Structure 1
Amino acid sequence: MIDEFSQIPIKMLHILSIDHVLYQDNYFQDRFFKHVTLKNRITQIKEEGILKVKQIGCSAQNREIYMLKAGRGSIKVLLWSQMHGDESTATLALFDLFKFFQSEDQYHALRKLILDHCSLYFVPMLNPDGAEVWQRRNAQGIDVNRDFLAQQSPEARALVKLQEEIQPDFGFNLHDQDSLWSVSGTKKPATISLLAPPADSTSTPTPSMLKAIQVICAMNRLLQQQIPGEVGRWRDEYEPRAVGESFQTKGIATILIESGGSASEKQKGRKLIFQALLYAFEKIASTAYRNENPIDYLQIPFNNKEIFHLLIKNCKIETVNGVIIGDIGLNYTEQFSTKEHLYTIADFGDLSTFSAYEIIEAESIVVLSPISIDSRPNLRIKHSDGTLTYLEDGVMIA
């Protein structure tokens, strides 16, 4: 281990040595939990007395929106997750952080540094109505992250009111992103993506944006030790309706963190966000983020789309005008009720410049119904070892 990490700064090594499994909150059975499960867990945490709990508002359907507070320091940090109801990876990571801060073990010095210098305010589920039916928007049909000018949604109003009350120095906007985003030029998934949102349409760095960039530089170095080449950066187009731009304009150093990867990799994203946030807290508490070179932020590659969920390569494809040799790229949507993956055709032909989460080198393929873009395929795939896989109306049957 000494050889492997010999070039890593001591404090980064300290974070990487933390066994996330020890702090994983197993109260949540999967990532599809609803508000009642979160509410029950928060009630338990409140009774334990380490973190302070406060209701900051209600959703459109009158579900409680909670804030949990840890720390007593002068640096105020506000974090919010699940603004989009179907984006729960960071919510789980926040509950792992709660368990970390409630624990007593060899990481006492790290906890003390963070909690003595920072006051951490967590909103783990801003859109409980969306979470109830596993959808992006709230019960009014509003995308809460496009409602910070109009503030028609009670969820946006609750977050703005909290921001005005506590006047945070830093903000962390926590999301999941489409699993089809990749890191430009690598064909690797963007397992984590980062952004310091701009404060205006010129994207000129403001003091708060510069602080956010420096914290991102630190987090990126930590993440590169875990997922080299799998960290992407969003382009900084100004969106005045979004919370990130709104808070950055107010002088809050705001950081967007998005967890990518396929559905099967969300636990990986949960661990990475846990580690990245702890490292960010340590850098903020010690003010060591000020030593980061902002130029390093520009070295993080942009997000792109160069991957599929499934890529079937080098197969005979029957078309209405004859047989072609090529590849079939498929993407899935995850069905909330059944948890099944429903595949559709994204592209076919020469897909040699693309990669995928799963690649099948097919010996042959029988198209049981005509294929077209966005159709749900009926395919019989013969693998090189002779085994068969079927896709029936987009559902995979081994």
Structure 2
Amino acid sequence: MQKDLYQHPDYFLVDELLTDEHKLIRDSVRAYVKKEISPIIEDYAQKAEFPSQIIKGMGELGCFGPFVPQEYGGAGLDYISYGIMMQELERGDSGVRSTASVQGSLVMFPIYKFGSEEQKKKYLPKLATGEWMGCFGLTEPNHGSDPSSMLTNFKDAGDHVILNGSKMWISNAPFAQVAIVWAKDEAGEIHGLIVERGMEGFSTPETHGKWSLRASATGELVFDNVKVPKENILPGVKGLKGPLSCLSSARYGIAWGALGCAMDCYDTALRYSKQRVQFGKPIAAFQLTQKKLAEMITEITKTQLLNWRLGVLRDEDRATPAQISMAKRNSVDIALKVSREARQILGGMGITGEFSIMRHMMNLESVVTYEGTHDIHLLITGMDVTGINAFK
């Protein structure tokens, strides 16, 4: 593994739009990634293992639910800070950012937003430090983009409910102590339940054989007559509004995170193109290489500005789910294109573990699908601008 020489591309001086606190947060997470993630991540990706030792450090940096108020163990930061953290983590690896995104946006966010005071005090402080890790159960084997058709359900049994069903493609599932599970009651209404590891009938088999997100732990959630206390039901929301609001929070983080992948691939390709000599001169001197690099930095710059504006709207509580969808789709699309062009600049070296590009490319093939597929986000934008629902 080459030394992490990453330099942050900022062609339009977007840094001037950030506060000193934002830049301090970014520099802290970047230094952590360079020291703790970059030297080991290729090895863990090759082994298809999650580097669990990084959890403590991410917790100490405040990467888990940084927008959660300090009274519940969070850092009480704004959403631009959250985005910057995700950008730096995913610059290291999408699987690392996924771990933090799930913890913050899909586990801590619903507990903070929809949980009781007792639930907030019990779970959030431990989740914020990483003492407990969580996962989010929405997708099912036969119900992905259409979560309203979920089959996972629970029935009333006095002081508890009986939960049955299964979820799949669940990040953090193999080691999570807590799962936020979305299931239907006997009336067919969707609720969120906090399911804890150790509850009888609850298992989390790991998913193997992945070519993408290899340094992230993925698994299933299986519920076989699991007794869940009624006090573990999130009281503040019913229906799809609950899980969809969580997805909006996660998609926001992905919009920033995928940009981190694009930045890393561009920076790698730019540096390599200046060092690689062919036909008596650096390949950066050739027109086709410059075309690739110029298009990369143009798209990265446009995405930086879009994400920053989305962060401002999110902090003002004015960002719409459709705006977040557009940003998520745009960032991943640009990151995929940049990674593929960067790989070409590196030639055969681009597929080796000496560089991060091929790993980013493979990871992005998952990121373009989860938290809403590429096409689903197009339809969300289409519905928003036309007022016509194309899903039905």
* Smaller-chain TM-score bracket: under 0.3
| TM-score, normalised via structure 2 length | 0.26
- Larger relative contact order (CA 8 Å, sep ≥ 6): 2
Structure with the largest fraction of strand: 1
